[in-house]
Amino acid sequence: MRKVEILGAGFSGLVSAYFLQRAGFLVTVHESSSRIGGMIQTRDLGWTLTETAANGILNSVAFETLCAEIGVELVASSKHPEGKRRFIYRRGKARRWPLTGVESFRLFLKLPSLKRKSPSPLETVEDWALRALGSAPYHSLIAPALQGIYAGDPAKLNASLLFGRFFSGPKKKKMHPKLRGTVAPLKGMETFLISLANYLAKKGVTISLNSAPSLAGVERPLVMALPVTEVVRLLADAPNCVDAAQALARVETLPLLSVSLGFRTSENAPEGFGCLFARGEGIRSLGVLFENTVWKKRSEFHLERWILGGATDRGVMDLCDAEILSTILTDREKLTGRRAEPFAHDIKRWPKALPHYTFTLLEVLENKSVKSLPDAGIYLIGNYTGRLGLSGIIEQAEQLGKNEKFI
Ligand SMILES: Cc1cc2nc3c(=O)[nH]c(=O)nc-3n(C[C@H](O)[C@H](O)[C@H](O)COP(=O)(O)OP(=O)(O)OC[C@H]3O[C@@H](n4cnc5c(N)ncnc54)[C@H](O)[C@@H]3O)c2cc1C
């Protein structure tokens, strides 16, 4: 059996291990910390379970099949009607459709020609959306939706990186999973990774905790399933990888705050998956997830998870706990029309949460030294390698197992 080593036992590292062991490799995973899961952690706060990072994944046949094989039961966020309702806050109110009748009509007229308006490589999301869809859909739909996913600045996010796949050639026929939309294991995202690690161990995969070898100490092929900053540090010390390290060092990372709040009742909050806040509405938070509406049974109380920060608000990292709470409660009062005090809170700070999907990232991914790393037996996978979401990471990991160079 050919050997492969993986650095990092977060989501990327463990799903890569799964597809590589299936492709017949003898896999060893090195994890520098004392636990698996990386950013994904489901914390038991006593009164609720809450997530530190991803709270769900866009389901796919690959993910569903994987979960069935390792014995993880998935729940769809849309299982309950409330879980299907998503809101955008605009003109002082949480709305399921934030555009006015006239704005909707204008958007409707533009849709048939959308396919012909593919973004150019240099175009930002703002420029593309204004050109292709118009001002109101950009400000009230596209910008809030993308800030909820990418936490980026629409004036800098690269349209081609985000939407390029939608415009590229005829679409392959896609199989649909049984459960559509966002899914998660009943007891939280970390249970998926724990079950996966246990399954992999039974299949002969070695997962070494507290293990962070230098690149000189690991054989090739090697999969680096690490935060980009850590990839840069390791490549900078490896022979012939300095150029790739310098290119990757240009990837900008964005800060995020994830704040769980517990209320005894819903306190007038809209019943739904969550709400995104359009900019210019006097609300600092990026969005809020109504966690126990979506994932019932995790808490008997009303649990909200507020997300702040991103490219246009790096200052949130300098706020103390009291300032964070006060900011959120002021935002919440605007959303619900009522001041309410949570009985419990939990604040998670992520100084480098996500990569910024800008033109610089596109350049980095197209950089010759970065693209030729596989020639040296080094493969990169993570949220900065072209697909931000976990479902994209699954697709990339699946490709690793089929990669000709790799095999
Ligand atoms: C608030 C928030 C909400 C999010 N929500 C969503 C969501 O709803 N949907 C979604 O798809 N995504 C979401 N994400 C993003 C998603 O959680 C991350 O992209 C994903 O978990 C990253 O996984 P990873 O394995 O690539 O990296 P990590 O989780 O960072 O894992 C890397 C691992 O490598 C280890 N490591 C570091 N250095 C070394 C070394 N030298 N040697 C060995 N090991 C090392 C680390 O300890 C870690 O375990 C969210 C993120 C945040 C912050």
Q: Name the E strands within 286-377.
A: 287-290, 302-309, 344-355
Q: Is 7 in the pocket of ligand 1 (CB under 6 A)?
A: yes
Which atom of ligand 1 has the smallest separation from the CA of 39?
29
Q: Given phi > 0 = left and psi -120 to 50 = alpha, else beta, which region is 173?
A: beta
Q: Which residue has the higher pLDDT, 267 or 354?
A: 354
Tokens for 393, please give them: 């990471």
Q: Is 31 in the pocket of ligand 1 (CB under 6 A)?
A: yes
Q: Is 274 in the pocket of ligand 1 (CB under 6 A)?
A: no
75 φ, ψ to 5°? -120, 140
User: What are the structural domains of the chain?
Assistant: 3-41+57-73+186-251+357-402 (3.50.50.60)
Under 8 Å between Cβ of 13 and 390: no
What confidence tens digit (pLDDT) does each residue in 180-209 have? 999 999 999 999 999 999 999 999 999 999
CA torsion 259→264→268→273, rounded to 10°?
50
Q: Is 348 in the pocket of ligand 1 (CB under 6 A)?
A: no
On the question of a cis peptide bond just before residue 255, with omega within 30 degrees of 0, the verdict is: no
What confidence tens digit (pLDDT) does each residue in 99-126 have? 999 999 999 999 999 989 999 999 999 9
Q: Which residue has the higher pLDDT, 169 or 142?
A: 142
pTM higher than 0.85: yes
Q: What is the residue type of 216?
A: A
Which pLDDT score, from 0 to 100, does residue 252 have?
98
Under 8 Å between Cβ of 55 and 184: yes
Residue 384 predicted with pLDDT over 50: yes
pLDDT band at 367 (very low <50, low <70, confident <90, very high): very high
Q: Please state the rounded mean pLDDT for residues 234-248.
A: 95
What confidence tens digit (pLDDT) does each residue in 282-339 have? 999 999 999 988 888 788 899 999 999 999 999 999 999 999 999 999 999 999 999 9
State the helix-helix crossing angle for 11-22 and 390-402, rounded to 10 degrees. 30
Which atom of ligand 1 has the smallest separation from the CA of 14?
25
Under 8 Å between Cβ of 120 and 308: no
Which atom of ligand 1 has the smallest separation from the CA of 35?
49
Going from the Cα of 231 to the center of ligand 1, the distance in angstroms, rounded, reads 13
Neighbouring CB atoms inside 10 A of 340's CB total 18
What does the chain come to in residues? 407
Best of 226, 235, 324, 379 for a ligand 1 pocket test (most atoms within 8 Å of beta carbon) = 226
Under 8 Å between Cβ of 186 and 75: yes
What confidence tens digit (pLDDT) does each residue in 16-55 have? 999 999 999 999 999 999 999 999 999 999 999 999 999 9
Going from the Cα of 228 to the center of ligand 1, the distance in angstroms, rounded, reads 10
Q: DSSP letter string over 266-334? A: -TT--SSSEEEE-TTSS----EEEEHHHHSTTSBSSEEEEEEEESTT-GGGGG--HHHHHHHHHHHHHH
- The single-letter DSSP state of residue 140 is I
Which atom of ligand 1 has the smallest separation from the CA of 258?
1
Q: Is 395 in the pocket of ligand 1 (CB under 6 A)?
A: no
**What's the whole-number average pLDDT of the chain?**
94
Tokens for 107, please give them: 């958007």
**78: Cα separation from own chain's centroid:** 19
Going from the Cα of 174 to the center of ligand 1, the distance in angstroms, rounded, reads 27
**C-alpha closest to that of 290 among 278, 306, 308:** 306
Which atom of ligand 1 has the smallest separation from the CA of 392?
11
Q: Is 182 in the pocket of ligand 1 (CB under 6 A)?
A: no
pLDDT band at 405 (very low <50, low <70, confident <90, very high): low
Residue 344 predicted with pLDDT over 70: yes
Residue 396 predicted with pLDDT over 70: yes
Which pLDDT score, from 0 to 100, does residue 407 have?
47
Going from the Cα of 148 to the center of ligand 1, the distance in angstroms, rounded, reads 17
What gap in Å lies between CA 335 and CA 79, rounded to an integer? 25
